[in-house]
Structure 1
């Protein structure tokens, strides 16, 4: 009697085990809530020095945690070759989606093509590959052409519609650099009294912008204004002018916490504040939708508005609106 009962129990256990193995073999039949493994979201960003990218990653981490997803985040430290390798490494880990902020057009094209070949959807943030160099599921970014046009138009009005202008460019060939240059050029065509007398490349960097502006002010002492294509470069220009005992009108694009302080103190005059924290959150939401097969209604392009922060508006906004709850710690 006891022996037969033991056999019956043993058979039942084996049958249950086989059933469980059968379900496991058909992973799509196991609901996620039952403990089935979720694919990781891969993230590749150009660096973690720029406050824009720091805030973007903060938004990614917070939203992924909120939604119960894991993220594998890599930073290329502004090295295009390193970023291409990092993307390939992420793809070998069988990530479910790639959130991609590329260092430059070379990394963008190579990374997107590799993800396409691996059939991993790509959510590009801030930077994008050139046309024909890979397929994106969506592109999330600031409308930098409009932001630069509106900012330069406002600046030209403040300086009386005439005077000498210097432009500090970001990384040449990057999406933001191309679009911000185009936007300000559009404004220049509408304001023929403003003349560009100097241009230099400072690669979004404050120290490089400081040195570049010193040289510009030596060669062109009558420069009236500087358009820094990023906040860091605008701050560098303002500090260089102050050290030289000169007064210039300096603006940037980003909305960094340090730039809010610069505008409030009068060191710089304005910035167009972007929304990197929100962009990071959006990227995660899009990645999850794509991984779950629900991304058919995601727009191809998702441009986010900027807000003009100047002496009149700086007290009306908090930097946390743009750079997330930890924005003050990014200084």
Structure 2
């Protein structure tokens, strides 16, 4: 039953479409490559490529859909390529786009250094590039990075939880993949806040590898070990939902929070079963990626980095994000 619950949660999170958080009306997005042509803006012949590292989840789906929508409005064609977490596949996709003379590449690198050689080739070919979500090891290869402020998001999450507990209590943390850029930045955000709350004790911290079922298993062990655990912080909504399911199965109610503001998590927040989640506005990432790379091609100056806004979502404001 535990594995079945994890599979159901995974399916819900992959196929739930968040769209642009905060909007109640959504326009139907056209498939990649079907953008309308606008001769007024002089960009009708431009082609952009968006490279996503793995099979789309709700966050990357929101980035993809918003990038396509923004590009369509500007008369620009966007093609989407999925790397399936295979570095050679992503490199080959980028090589194809170089050969075919794409104007701009928006890349979520599968690894920080795995695409450096092909990205250097793209730069030498005069193709504009930005990284999205994940940065690359050599930022000089791209005009800008568009992503989320993970450290700020984690700091916000931890502060909200510490305040909800009145500044004292026992908490546990479920990390993402250890050593990944996201995990490192999120952990730094937690630590920056914990130093201001000496009566908050982190009794357990373990990697759930961003997975629901692993988070469930970890939480089950913790619940057997502690009868006074006050809160569990997941570095992603998937892991927070896994922790929540374990608590539901055990008939235990504690403060659980995550990060991503995915639909399944928002529904739990609305129901009052999950304390909160951090919204990092995935749609804003897709929108900014297209606009920034367009500015580069138009000869306008751009910043080195662009971060989306962080907001903590609780039952009080969840309606604004659904």
What is the aligned partner in structure 1 of residue 308 from structure 2?
A: 304
How many Å separate the matches in 2 of 1:111 and 1:53? Answer: 23
Deviations 1:29-79 (A, max 9, x none): xxx779997242111112243211010000011112221211221112333
| Cα separation, 2, equivalents of 1:154 and 1:261 | 19
Written as runs of structure 1 = structure 2, the 5 A alignment for 1:64-213 is: 64-107=71-114, 109=116, 112-130=119-137, 132=138, 134-213=140-219
For structure 1, the 5+ residue unaligned runs are 1-31, 320-331
CA RMSD, aligned part only?
2.6
Q: Which runs of 5+ in 2 are unaligned?
A: 1-38
Tell me the SS of whatever aligns to 1:268.
Answer: coil
Change (3 A) 1:37 1:198: same
Conserved? CA contact 2:216–2:245, under 8 Å: yes
Deviations 1:154-192 (A, max 9, x none): 101112322222222223333322211110111111112
Q: SS of the residue aligned with 2:45?
A: coil
Aligned partner of 1:59 in structure 2 is 66
Q: Secondary structure at the match of 2:151?
A: helix
Q: Is the 8 A contact 2:43 2:74 kept in 1?
A: no
CA change 1:82–1:190 in 2 (3 A) is farther
C-alpha separation between the residues in 2 aligned to 1:153 and 1:63?
Answer: 34
Correspondence for 1:283 among 289, 302, 306: 289
Higher helix share: 1
Alpha-carbon contact 1:263-1:314 (below 8 Å) kept: yes
Deviation, 1:134, is 4.5
The superposition leaves residues 104-138 of structure 1 with CA deviations (integer Å, 9 ceiling, x where unpaired) of 324464564453344322211221123x4642211
Q: CA shift at 1:81, angstroms?
A: 4.0
| Matched residue, 2:13 | none
Bigger mean CA offset, 258-267 vs 70-79:
70-79
Return the alpha-carbon distance in structure 1 between the equivalents of residues 194 and 118 of structure 2.
35
- CA offset digits 1:278-321 (Å, max 9, x no partner): 22112112222323x323x2111112211211022223x133xx
Partner of 1:252, secondary structure, is strand
Higher relative contact order (CA 8 A, sep 6+): 2
User: What's the TM-score, normalizing by structure 1?
Assistant: 0.78
2:238 maps to which residue? 232
Matching residue within 310, 314, 318 for 2:318: 314
Q: Is the 8 A contact 2:153 2:280 kept in 1?
A: no
CA contact (8 A) 2:43 2:75 kept: no
Q: Which residue matches 1:23?
A: none
Give, in whole Å, the separation in 2 of the partners of 1:240 and 1:151.
21
Name 1:263's counterpart in structure 2: 269
- Provide the TM-score with structure 2 as the length reference: 0.80
| Pairwise CA distance, 1:241 | 1.4
CA distance in 2, matches of 1:243, 1:88: 49
- Residues 116 and 134, structure 1, Cα contact 8 Å, conserved in 2: no
* Structure 2: distance between partners of 1:110 and 1:227: 38
Indicate how the Cα distance of structure 1 residues 174 and 122 shifts in structure 2: closer, same or farther if over 3 A, else same.
farther
Q: Residues 172 and 205 of structure 2 are in contact (CA less than 8 Å); yes or no, is this contact kept in structure 1?
A: yes
Q: 2:54 aligns with which of 22, 36, 47?
A: 47
Aligned residues: 285
Larger radius of gyration: 1
